[in-house]
Amino acid sequence: MSKDQPPTGPPPDDDPFRKRPQEPERPGEPAPPPADGPAAGGGSPYDSPYGGAGGPYGAGGGQPPPYGAGGPYGGADPLAGMPPLAPFGKRVLARLIDMIIVFVPLIIISLIFGGIEGNYYGDDWDEVTDRVNSGEQWLWSLISLVAYVGYDTLMTAKSNGQTVGKKIMKLRTAMLNDGRVPDVGSSLLRAAVLWVPALVCCYCIWWLVIVITVFTDKPYRQGLHDKAGKTVVVSAAQ
């Protein structure tokens, strides 16, 4: 056993075991962030893979206010943390591509089964009305409705929020409150509001309404179908 005695007197200033009194916080100096706050790696739900630190859109500094917490249009900056909203022109082109993708197979099917009675030029008005109101025409409308709504719903919910048109134009549909891919319920509601009025009763008028609402809505450029599904269309990762 060592016969060395512990040193006497006060411990040296550089003694690592010496307890030093905690210095009081200086007035006006911000307190350090909590461990589970932004410093711990929290960020916008839009961060990865479409934004945030290291993403193609820079660091996300927040998120759109969620539904049920003051409404989606409150907050200092409702677009903070989101990828760029989809340009209007790209949305139109993506929609046209999707319409053609569904329309071409429908036309082929109609030709296989004898085509749609449709050359009304030279017929009197009563005959035209009878053809439009025929069971065959209503069946065709139902088939078209199922095709367009089904395509839009499945592609949005099962393909990262992207139809073929949106993939080509590098866009995607996301839930407004957290940026995730819309589920089947939200995708179906969105597609139904978009297509049912257009194919059943008011084709040209309804498309005009959709275009106007997308073009004029602030700040998220939501059409009526986006508002129904609580979605937003944004630019996808390059």
Confidence of residue 112 (pLDDT cuts 50, 70, 90): confident
Q: How many CB atoms lie within 10 A of CB 190?
A: 26
Compute the half-sphere exposure of residue 70: CA atoms within 13 Å on the CB side of its CA: 7
Share of the chain above pLDDT 90, in %: 47
> Domain-by-domain residue ranges, the chain?
88-235
Burial class for 227, CB neighbours closer than 10 Å (0-12, 13-18, 19+): middle
pLDDT tens for residues 54-72?
343 333 444 445 544 444 5
**14: its two tokens:** 């550089």
Q: Which residues have a Cβ under 8 Å from the Cβ of 119 and sit 6 or more positions away?
A: none
Q: How many CB atoms lie within 10 A of CB 224?
A: 18
pLDDT tens for residues 132-180?
556 677 788 899 999 999 999 999 999 999 999 999 999 999 999 999 9
Q: Where are the alpha helices (DSSP H) in the chain?
A: 88-112, 125-132, 135-158, 164-169, 184-200, 203-216, 224-229
pLDDT tens for residues 15-24?
444 444 455 5
**231: its two tokens:** 């979605």
* pTM across the whole model: 0.65
